[in-house]
């Protein structure tokens, strides 16, 4: 059985979507092939330090430290089975930009940008992402 390819998308691909990628890899890497991209990424940027700190505390391993931002593209959209936007307005932008792949796009909810809000806000963001992924995994039947 092949693993479903899940592409997480936020704006810069240095915090929320990147965290979601590594959370899913940690939770269900045997069932899903997770990746991430940004709507307006600075390609090659590293993950935000706040995000690295929370993933260091919560996940086994440190592959997230190697993360580099990627720009959303038609190729990435085509390759994905499911495209998960961090907010509904991002999902709308993705559907409008890639109408041929609109049926692949879902929203994880309203996962807001926690930067510059401190570690507590980042912890809440992590928990919201993990809860959203858990709901997605439970609703996705093989």
Assess whether 16 carries a catalytic annotation: yes
Catalytic residue among 16, 26, 70, 125: 16
Q: Each residue of 51-61: b (16+ CB within 10 Å) or e?
A: bbebbeeebee
Which secondary-structure segment (H or E) carries 37? strand 32-38
Cβ–Cβ under 8 Å, residues 1 and 104 = no
To the query of whether residue 68 is one of the catalytic residues in this protein, the response is: no
**Active-site residue, selected from the candidate residues 30, 103, 120, 142:** 120
Based on the residue annotation, tell me whether 57 is a catalytic residue of this protein. no
To 10 degrees, the CA torsion angle through 115, 70, 39, 98? -150
d(CA 13, CA 4): 20
Q: How many residues does the chain have?
A: 142
Rounded CA-CA distance 88/109 in Å is 6
* Residues with catalytic function: 10, 16, 120
């Amino acid at each position: 059985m092949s693993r479903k390819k899940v592409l997480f998308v936020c704006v810069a691909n240095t915090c929320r979507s990147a965290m979601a990628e590594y959370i899913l890899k940690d939770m269900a890497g045997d069932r899903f092939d997770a990746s991430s991209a940004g709507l307006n990424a600075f390609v090659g940027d590293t993950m935000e330090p706040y995000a690295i700190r929370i993933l260091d505390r919560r996940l086994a391993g440190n592959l997230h430290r190697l993360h580099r931002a990627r720009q959303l593209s038609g190729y990435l959209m085509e390759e994905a089975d499911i495209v998960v936007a961090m907010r509904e307005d991002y999902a709308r932008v993705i559907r409008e930009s890639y109408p041929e792949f609109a049926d692949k796009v879902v929203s994880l909810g309203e996962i807001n940008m926690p930067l510059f809000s401190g570690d507590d806000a980042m912890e809440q963001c992590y928990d919201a992402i993990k809860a959203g992924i858990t709901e997605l995994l439970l609703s996705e039947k093989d």
